[in-house]
Amino acid sequence: MIKQINIKNFQSHKDSILTLSPNINVIIGTSDSGKSSIARAIGWTLFNRPLGFSFKSHFSKKNEPVEVEIRFDNGVLLRRKSRDQNLYCINGEKLETIGTDVPIEVLELHKLGKINYQSQFEKIFLLQDSPSEISKKVNEILGIDLADELFKRINSAIFETRKEIKLRESEIEKLEKERDNYKYLDDLGRIIGSLKLNLNRYNALVERYRRLTFLISSIGSVLEEYKKVLGLLKYSEYLEKIRNNLEKYKEMQERYSKLDKIIIGLRELEYELNKISISDSFIEKFTKTSSRMDELKKISEVWENCSSILSKVKILNRKILESAEELKDLKMEYINLLKKAKVCPLCGQTITEKNLEEHIKL
C-alpha cells in the first residue's frame, strides 16, 4: 500500500508531498491544479509511462532532475531522471535499467499491474469493456491468465522444440551422407592395426639383431683376449728358466757375501802386516797370500759379472711379477668374457659353471 508520494519538477509540481490514508483517498481541486499530474507521476514511476522527457516542469532549471518518491509499506521507491541520468532506487540502492523496461525489483516491490492502475481518460473499468476484454481481465484477476500464459509458453516451447528437432534431423541426415564419404576409415583402421602389428614385429627383430650384434662383438673381443692369453702362455717356459736363474742368483749372492767377508779380513790383515817387520818366512807367507789375493781378484771380477747378471735378473724378476699379475688379470677377464658369451670360441660348447674350469684349462 502507498503511504506517501513526493513529487519534484514533474509538470505543475515544484516540490509536492502527499501523505495518503490507509483507506480510500480522494484528491480534489480546480482545473490545472495538478490532480492528473499526480496520477501521471505515479504511472511514470511504476511503469515508466509516459516515455520521453516532456513532463518536466517548465519552471525548473536545465540541470535539475525530475524526481518522484513513493513510500510503500515494504520499502521506498525513488525515480530520478535528467538529460544524462535515468535512475531507479529502492531503499537507497541503485538499480540497473535496460532501455525502457522497468527493473524487475521495482515490479516485485509494488506488485501492481494494469488492472490496479487506471489513468484519467481510460475507459471505466469493466463497465465500458467488451465481453472478451471483461473475460480477459476477470481471468487475470483470478489468475486464470497464468494458465493461458503457461499454455502459450508450452506451445511456443513445443514449436521451438519441433523446429529444433527438424533442424537436428536435417543435420543428422547431412552428417550421415558425409559419413558415407568416410566408409574407407574402417578398412584404414584395419590396415593401421596390421601396420602396428608389423611394426611391433619389426621392433622385436631389430632388438634381436642388436643383441646378436652385441654378442658377436663380445665373442670377437673374447677371441682377441684369448689370443693375448695364448701369447702370454708361450712365455711360461721362459719364466721357468728365469725362476731357476733366480735360485742360482741367490746361491751366488750367498757366496759373494762370504767372499766379501774374506776380502775385508784380508785387507785388515794387509794393514796389520804393513805395521810389522818383514821376515823371510813372512814374505813366503805373504807370497802365498798374494797368490791367493790374485785368485780373490779373479773371484771379485767374477763377482762383478755376477752382480751385473744379478741386476739384470732383478729387472727380469720384476717384469716376471708384472707379467704374472697381467696374466692373472687377463685370466679373470677371459673367465668373465666366457661367462658373458656363454659359448666357448674354440669348441663351440655352451659355457656353464660346472664346465667353466675345463674350458679355462683348454
> What pLDDT score does 355 carry?
74
Query: Phi first, then psi: what are they for 85, rounded to 5°?
Result: -150, 140
> What pLDDT score does 122 carry?
72
> Where do runs of H (alpha helix) occur along the chain?
35-47, 104-110, 131-142, 144-180, 184-233, 236-273, 280-341, 356-361
Element (H, E) at 81: strand 75-82
Quote the DSSP letter at residue 27. Answer: -
Could you state, in chain order, the average pLDDT of each consecutive group of 10 residues for the chain (362 residues)?
93 94 89 89 88 87 92 93 88 81 87 76 70 72 65 81 87 81 74 85 85 77 67 62 72 73 72 58 58 66 70 73 73 72 69 70 55
Cell numbers 717356459: residue: 237
> What pLDDT score does 250 carry?
75
Give strand pairing partners of 18: 5
pTM of the model: 0.40
Quote the DSSP letter at residue 129. Answer: S
> What pLDDT score does 142 carry?
67
> What pLDDT score does 128 carry?
66
> What pLDDT score does 65 carry?
92
As a whole number of angstroms, the distance between CA 161 and CA 138 comes to 32
Q: Which amino acid is at 27?
A: I
